[in-house]
């Protein structure tokens, strides 16, 4: 068991998730943020004392054990390439990546341990399992997934909604999607199965984005110990709560 702190590179550090990651990592002595990467310096919001630099200077990043990426699809390729080149792990929560980027991720998993997930919360991992079971148990019922997020969210339907939709498909349902963008909602996913004269409703509400950041930090510690491969959140979350 390695007892030295896991050295992290945080990619997308000035964003909402990046800021939560920096704050929570600073409270954990088993983690050391060695680089905070932002799209454009200077940045005001990054916690003092953490070395930070621009995405255009990524190649010059100091040595790190695992990168955590919560940026945008256009930032995904460079951080995946850097991790593959250095032979270190990648935790990515960036949503909206293309099929081509998914294929690059799968190819990189032959060389490095990585996890890409649309949602790092334990609650959503459980919800995905419940949706699959409900879909299998309710053949022929309509399945609708309604997701709500803050007005700044770029992709729709959300990555989490699509992940829940895959679970529904595995269970035999044919999911439909609806998206709401309103105010400062962190993330709500409502899955409704509708039969004749009855409905089953499953819902997850995120009230704090720390749940995603905690899951990603936990995944980073786990990945450091793992062999190359593509892991799922449920493989890594284990006893986090």
Q: Tell me the catalytic residues.
A: 149, 153
Q: Kindly tell me which residue out of 8, 38, 122, 127 binds ligand NAD, with binding defined by CB under 6 A.
A: 38
The beta-strand segments (E) located in the chain are 6-11, 31-38, 52-54, 66-69, 89-92, 113-116, 142-149, 175-181, 187-194, 199-206, 229-231
Beta carbon nearer to ligand NAD, 9 or 138: 9
Contact segment (CB under 6 A) with ligand NAD among 9-17, 127-135, 136-144, 194-202 equals: 9-17
The residue range among 1-9, 25-33, 67-75, 137-145 that interacts with ligand NAD, by the rule CB under 6 A, is: 67-75
Tell me the site size for ligand NAD, rule CB under 6 A.
25
80 binds ligand NAD (CB under 6 A): no
User: Considering the complex, what minimum distance in angstroms separates the CB of residue 192 from ligand NAD?
Assistant: 22
**Non-local CB neighbours of 230 within 8 Å, separated by 6+ positions:** 105, 106, 109, 114, 115, 116
Q: Is 237 in the site for ligand NAD (CB under 6 A)?
A: no
CA 62 to CA 181: how far, in whole Å? 38
Torsional sign, CA 178, 163, 14, 40: negative
Residue 163 is a binding residue for ligand NAD (CB under 6 A): no
Q: Give the shortest CB-172-to-ligand NAD separation in angstroms.
A: 26
d(CA 131, CA 148): 18
Whole-angstrom distance, CA of residue 154 vs CA of residue 118: 14
Dihedral of alpha carbons 10, 43, 78, 184, sign:
positive
Q: Binding segment for ligand NAD among 15-23, 28-36, 103-111, 174-182 (CB under 6 A)? A: 15-23
Q: Which is nearer to ligand NAD, 6 or 92 (CB)?
A: 92
Instruction: Determine how many CB atoms are found less than 10 A away from the CB of residue 147.
Output: 25
CA distance 49 to 120: 27
Using the minimum distance from each CB to ligand NAD, give the nearer residue, 2 or 98: 98
Using CB under 6 A as the criterion, which residues of the chain lie in contact with ligand NAD when the complex forms?
11-12, 14-18, 38-39, 55, 70-72, 74-75, 93-96, 117-120, 209, 212
């Amino acid at each position: 068991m390695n007892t030295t702190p896991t050295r992290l590179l945080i990619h997308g550090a000035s964003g909402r998730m990046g800021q939560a990651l920096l704050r929570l990592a600073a409270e954990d002595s088993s983690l050391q943020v060695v680089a905070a990467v932002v799209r454009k310096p200077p940045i005001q919001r990054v916690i003092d004392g953490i070395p930070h630099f621009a995405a255009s200077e990524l190649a010059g990043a100091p040595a790190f054990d695992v990168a955590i990426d919560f940026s945008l699809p256009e930032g995904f390729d460079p951080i995946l390439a850097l991790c593959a080149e250095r032979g270190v792990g990648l935790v990515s929560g960036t949503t909206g990546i293309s099929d081509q980027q998914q294929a690059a991720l799968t190819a990189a998993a032959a060389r490095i341990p990585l996890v890409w997930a649309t949602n790092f919360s334990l609650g959503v991992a459980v919800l995905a399992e419940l949706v699959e079971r409900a879909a299998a148990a309710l053949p022929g019922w309509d399945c609708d997934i309604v997701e709500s997020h803050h007005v700044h969210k770029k992709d729709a339907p959300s990555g989490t909604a699509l992940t829940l939709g895959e679970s529904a498909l595995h269970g035999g349902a044919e999911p439909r999607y609806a998206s709401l963008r309103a105010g400062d909602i962190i993330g709500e996913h409502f899955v409704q199965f509708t039969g004749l004269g009855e409905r089953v409703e499953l819902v997850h509400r995120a009230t704090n984005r720390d749940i995603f950041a905690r899951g990603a930090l936990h995944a980073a510690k786990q990945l450091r110990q793992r062999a190359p491969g593509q892991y799922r959140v449920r493989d890594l979350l284990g006893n986090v709560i």
